[in-house]
Amino acid sequence: MTAKTTQPTLSTERLLLRPLALADANTIQLLAGDREVADTTRLIPHPYPDGLAETWIASLQPRYEKGEGVSFGITLKDGPLIGSIGLLLNQVDHHGELGYWIGKAWWNQGICTEAAAAILGYAFETLELERVFANYFARNPASGRVMSKLGMKQEGILRRHRCKWGQYEDLIVCGILRGEHQSLNKARARKRSKKAAG
């Protein structure tokens, strides 16, 4: 993993994952300011204070240049910003912690899974990580389902590990290794070519 200055834009069937700009701050505040979005995240506050989105967005490029993390805005192709996804990077152990949120109006349409699949490709192929992991609150099965659809395996439960808005919460840890991701990709490619061959 080497330091880089220009963050790429990733493209999927329906989405573009692109660097965030200060012009996105109002949309971020509006979407992440929804209590239901903030409720199952570790860090998004509620209410979402004025100025926080600007401060956060301004921190992203320096963090990217230092190799500490990478965050993308998720947009529909030629459409609005609808969420965010990123990796916190550990350059010593070559792993990344995945995090994401999607605006409530776009839930349950496969958007997060599609975006996260692209991030896993980027993590293993471009950043050459060995492992990607993520955590979700036990009461957030939608996020658990996203991780399972990505091929991430449950690795453990950290009991009462987070204090979210005054309540201790169990955290479920999931992860996927580079070799597992490669095997899954090969299996998917085999399935696609079998289907194409009829």
Ligand X SMILES: CC(C)(COP(=O)(O)OP(=O)(O)OC[C@H]1O[C@@H](n2cnc3c(N)ncnc32)[C@H](O)[C@@H]1OP(=O)(O)O)[C@@H](O)C(=O)NCCC(=O)NCCS
**What is the contact surface with ligand X in residues (CB under 6 A)?**
37, 40-41, 100-102, 107-113, 136, 140-143, 145-146
Beta carbon nearer to ligand X, 27 or 143: 143
Nearest to 177 by CA among 88, 111, 94: 94
Rounded alpha-carbon distances, angstroms, from residue 14 to 19, 112, 131, 164: 17, 11, 26, 33
Cα dihedral 162→110→153→140 (10° resolution): 30
Nearest to 143 by CA among 174, 118, 122: 174
Rounded alpha-carbon distances, angstroms, from residue 178 to 1, 78, 97, 98, 121: 14, 32, 14, 14, 10
Q: Least distance (Å) from ligand X to the CB of residue 198?
A: 27
Beta carbon nearer to ligand X, 109 or 182: 109
Q: Least distance (Å) from ligand X to the CB of residue 81?
A: 13
Nearest to 88 by CA among 112, 64, 111: 64
Q: Least distance (Å) from ligand X to the CB of residue 148?
A: 8
Q: Where are the beta strands (DSSP E) in 54-94?
A: 69-76, 81-90
Q: Least distance (Å) from ligand X to the CB of residue 1?
A: 24
Beta carbon nearer to ligand X, 38 or 127: 38
Beta carbon nearer to ligand X, 98 or 127: 98
Beta carbon nearer to ligand X, 67 or 164: 164
Beta carbon nearer to ligand X, 143 or 178: 143
Q: Least distance (Å) from ligand X to the CB of residue 108?
A: 5
Residue type (1 letter), 35: R
Q: Least distance (Å) from ligand X to the CB of residue 34?
A: 8
